[in-house]
Chain A
């Protein structure tokens, strides 16, 4: 009990210190050169007009549900990729072709909370093929094709509730992992909350990624004690074959977790030998458990195919000895990060006063020696002293995440003291610290969680901006800060606001993906069933109350551009094929009173929007993407007659 009071006191003290730190940085801004940047910062981040950035950075949008693509070092926003949230600009989740991507076993879920982008890797190095990202709220993993920068697949994770520790990948992208942030009855059931300890379980999920196509499939799940699982990282090099998941609430509290889940001095990192688990599953040691989950992917026709799958292989820890061990780790660990060599596993204990660093060699030895400190629900707990390689003392307050520069240094984000702390992997001493503005969550070194960091910059991903930018009412942006890490002292170079809330991020040298970018889709390869390849094929077809408009766009007109014979209450499907084959010539389509969105159709692509006119009249449609000198002329009309009118369908397609 005294422990709990201690923890609470510590929390309060930390908050007070955080407030003091914020006040201090406020004062610091009066200094010459202001706001923390160094003298040559401007030239370091200046990318001259028409020149390219050195790196692509992919920042999660958090509650925006999307991924934002920035150039580094300039911090210029290049694109926002729609992933989990409907996006009327690109008709993502509105067009008939993309709606299916947001299907789940809960029905159509047009939003999610996207936290952790993760680049695919080969041999532990980012290969620039795909970017995976988790949907935290309705558990999902999305895969983005980096040649198109479009979401290609979304897989729902059954049995999970809050897919937070996800989608961290293994070193050859064998698996993307997932862990439930909230333990829940598994399988779901109507259970009193007071039965948390007995009935609630946490699941760790391993999603197999096809090495050729990137297609995801649910391989197996491991049933774990009902803790809150937080973050993960896979081993690499010598620790390849293992994955590490942090957990908190080992107290298994089911109310006021703020206090009740912060009592234990140590919680656990679950070290999962996934190769062992894989073998157990192959030996038939997992049981098939009923589950319903959606898998949505884009077909060759650029159309979402949504499948509802059932059943998943669930492995009990007891059925597979040697698959899971617990690494005791101080105070509700959040991040778990594996250094480029694969030897060190650093944990960010949110409330801890040290950063513990476990050694994979020592973990292996402790397992061999059975240096156990009892077990929890059948999972052996390794002795802390037997596995820890060292502790970084007095690193700051609120350590969360660690990334590595490939030169033997680690960088840990400190939420409460709002700083990045650089420390040595050799002796675990603090080497440098730099304030960030304010309250950093994740931090990111390009490739900093891989075997080959691009150790030139670290990017701070900040939760709070307060006075950093011109104020915009009560809603303020989150921010990213670019910091130079090439010298002994970290130097702040740039500070830029972000879309949504950037949780984690990934970055990769531009050269790895720049030249693979798709410029247009080949019209000849368009297999959309509603595509038309020339203006001569355009037509309007009525079938009952369904009207299909097979329409084309090319600078600067629609074909057809006049349609008559539509009636109130018809379902009008505008199938727009963009005949353009030029780079950067999308056309848009918008019509009055559309209850969904516009369309933005890429060259060679077909997109469909549905329109149900609810009144009589003549309604214009027009191109929304300023395509050409005569863009304003790119328009047409639909005449809507009363229900049952004798007006026949006519249109003016070229013959």
Chain B
């Protein structure tokens, strides 16, 4: 791997540490009675309200339609995700440190799988919350389910729900994109090296020299 690639990978991997602070996803709700809005923030290790009472308020409102309470402690994935994030950081740093393309590809694969699995899991929980309703709920609208959109906006009775990646999510996507770009460039470069272009060989030597200096 080129020095610049390794630097990018190292920085991108370290940026993932921000996921421990920044929320991944945001669901914002507004209604005529809630002009100030209510919001949920999905984090790597939990679900919090936008304001200190938002989660409790949303849970309370949801009881009218028979939705289960959102209990972050009862969602096992939220205990797993910090470790997954840690793993992704370690693999990324390993790729940068070793300079081995194989590790880079593994990192990209892990990132893509984690992102896809995360989104699928998010959708699954959303589906469960939105469809698995208490039959004794006060408000029952035939044919109505309350699954929040995975991404985008949707009207849920008097509420308008908007679901979008938050800063952490955007950052994660950016890291995945960076990993993909670096992987593609490194793959092409490797192809060219194999084809024996002298220019590239010189470059490769240069990079090695750079490594020694570093």
Q: Does B214 contact A (CB under 8 A)?
A: no
B53 contact from A556, A581, A633, Cβ within 8 A: A581
A460 to B111, CA, bound (A): 70
B138 and A630 form a contact (CB under 8 A)? yes
* Complex-state Cα separation, A393 to B131, whole angstroms: 82
The tally of residues in B whose CB lies under 8 Å from a CB in A reads: 10
List 3 tightest A-B contacts by C-beta distance, closest first.
Answer: A581-B53, A582-B57, A581-B56
Secondary structure at the A interface, as helix, strand, loop or mixed, is: loop
B4 proximal to A (CB < 8 A):
no
Interface string of B25-42 (1 = CB under 8 A from A): 000000000001000000
- B138 engages A583 (CB within 8 Å): no
Q: Which residue of B lies closest to A580 (CB)?
A: B60
How far is B64's CA from A359's CA once the two chains are assembled, in angstroms?
69
Tell me the bound Cα distance from A633 to B36 in angstroms: 27
A selection of 16 A-B contacts at a CB cut-off of 8 Å is A520-B53, A554-B60, A555-B61, A555-B64, A556-B138, A580-B60, A581-B56, A581-B57, A582-B53, A582-B57, A582-B60, A583-B36, A629-B64, A630-B64, A630-B138, A633-B138
Residues of chain A lying within 8 A (CB to CB) of residue B139: 629
Task: Give the residues in chain B near A583, CB-CB below 8 Å.
Answer: 36
Query: Residue on A with the closest CB to B158?
Result: A629
Contact with A along B59-90 (1 / 0, CB 8 A): 01100100000000000000000000000000
Name the residue on A nearest B61 (C-beta): A555
List of B residues within 8 angstroms of A581 by Cβ: 52-53, 56-57
The interface of chain B, by Cβ under 8 A from chain A, is 36, 52-53, 56-57, 60-61, 64, 138-139
CB distance from B65 to the nearest CB of A (A): 11
Add 18 more A-B contacts to A554-B60, A556-B138, A630-B138 (CB < 8 A): A520-B53, A555-B60, A555-B61, A555-B64, A556-B64, A580-B60, A581-B52, A581-B53, A581-B56, A581-B57, A582-B53, A582-B57, A582-B60, A583-B36, A629-B64, A629-B139, A630-B64, A633-B138
Residue of A whose beta carbon sits closest to that of B63: A555
Q: How far is the CA of A556 from the CA of B60 in the complex (A)?
A: 10
CB neighbours (8 Å) of B52 from chain A are 581
Centre residue among A555, A556, A582, A629 by max chain B CB count within 10 A = A582
Report how far A554 CA is from B59 CA in the complex, Å: 12
- Complex interface: chain B residues within 8 A of A554 (CB): 60
Range of interface residues on chain A? Answer: 10 to 19
Q: What CA separation (Å) do A475 and B57 show in the bound complex?
A: 45
CB of A89 to closest CB in B, whole Å: 22
User: B61 — which chain A residues lie within 8 A by C-beta?
Assistant: 555
- Residues in B neighbouring A555, C-beta threshold 8 A: 60-61, 64
How distant is the Cα of A580 from the Cα of B61 in the complex, in angstroms?
11
Distance of B156 from chain A, by nearest CB (Å)? 15
* Bound CA span A582–B36, Å: 11
Q: A542-583: which residues lie under 8 A (CB-CB) from chain B?
A: 554-556, 580-583
Quick one: closest A residue to B38, CB to CB?
Answer: A582
Most buried by B among A556, A580, A581: A581
C-alpha gap A580/B33 in the complex (Å): 15
What is the distance, in angstroms, from A552's C-beta to the closest C-beta of chain B? 12
Bound Cα distance from A520 to B139, whole angstroms = 27
Cα A520 to Cα B138 with chains together (Å): 26
- Write the nearest CB–CB distance from B17 to chain A, whole angstroms: 31
Chain A residues with CB below 8 A from B36, complex form? 583
A window 455-476: CB within 8 A of B: none
A599-635 interface bits toward B, Cβ cutoff 8 Å, 1 = contact, 0 = none: 0000000000000000000000000000001100100
Chain A residues with CB under 8 A of B60: 554-555, 580, 582
Across the two chains, which residue of chain B brings its CB closest to A555? B60
Q: Which residue of B lies closest to A522 (CB)?
A: B52
Given the complex of chains A and B, what is the CA–CA distance between A556 and B61 in angstroms? Answer: 10
For residue B49, which residue of chain A has the nearest CB?
A581
Min CB gap B71→A, angstroms: 14
Cα separation A582 to B61 with both chains bound (whole Å):
11
Which chain B residues lie closer than 8 Å to A580 at the CB level? 60
Give the distance to chain B from A242, nearest Cβ to Cβ, in Å: 47
CB contacts (< 8 Å) of B53 on chain A: these are 520, 581-582
In the complex, what's the smallest C-beta–C-beta distance from A107 to chain B, in angstroms?
41
Interface positions, chain A 366-403, Cβ under 8 Å from B, are none
Q: How far is the CB of A281 from chain B (nearest CB, A)?
A: 47
For B138, give the chain A residue with the smallest CB separation: A630
Chain A residues with CB below 8 A from B64, complex form: 555-556, 629-630
Q: How far is the CA of A554 from the CA of B36 in the complex (A)?
A: 20
Cα(A288)–Cα(B138), bound, Å = 67
Smallest CB separation, B50 vs chain A (Å): 13
Contacts of B57 in A (CB 8 A): 581-582
Cβ of A160 to closest chain B Cβ, rounded Å:
45
Residue of B with least CB distance to A603:
B53
Q: How far is the CA of A630 from the CA of B60 in the complex (A)?
A: 13
| B33 CB → nearest A CB, Å | 9
Smallest beta-carbon distance A582→chain B, Å: 5
A582 contacts which chain B residues (CB < 8 A)? 53, 57, 60
Per the bound structure, the CA–CA distance linking A633 and B53 in Å amounts to 25
Q: How far is the CA of A554 from the CA of B56 in the complex (A)?
A: 11
Assembly CA distance A411 to B57 (angstroms): 51
CA distance A240 to B60 in the complex (A): 54
A575-599: which residues lie under 8 A (CB-CB) from chain B? Answer: 580-583
CB neighbours of B56 from chain A (8 A): 581
Q: Min CB distance, B37 to chain A, in Å?
A: 11
Q: Give CA–CA (A581, B54) in the complex, Å.
A: 9
- In the assembled complex, how far is the CB of residue B157 from the closest CB belonging to chain A, in whole angstroms? 10
- Whole-angstrom distance between the alpha carbons of A415 and B60 in the complex? 56
Kindly state the separation between the CA atoms of A556 and B137 in the bound complex, as whole angstroms: 12
